[in-house]
Amino acid sequence: MGPIIGIIIVAVVVVLYLVVSYFNNKSPVPEDCVEAYNEAQNCTLCARRRNCALRQTMENIKEISK
């Protein structure tokens, strides 16, 4: 019965992840973030879309220079 409980727990986590991802993609971008969102979508520096260290560094530099 132990493996069945483990499989059920993994299935619940996967379904929860899929539901949260679905609703996250359906939610609109906040008005304050539209410019930054569009800029990030058009970034062609590399193939990485998520966790771009260069983009995060540039944002930090912009905040520090203000």
2-21 per-position pLDDT tens digit: 889 999 999 999 999 999 99
For 66, counting Cβ atoms within 10 Å of its Cβ (0-12 exposed, 13-18 middle, 19+ buried), the class is exposed
- Cα-Cα-Cα-Cα dihedral of 50, 54, 59, 63, to 10°? 150
23-53 per-position pLDDT tens digit: 988 888 888 888 877 777 776 666 555 666 6
- Residue with the larger pLDDT of the pair 35 and 66: 35
Ordered by start, the domain boundaries in the chain are 2-65
Task: Give this prediction's pTM.
Answer: 0.50
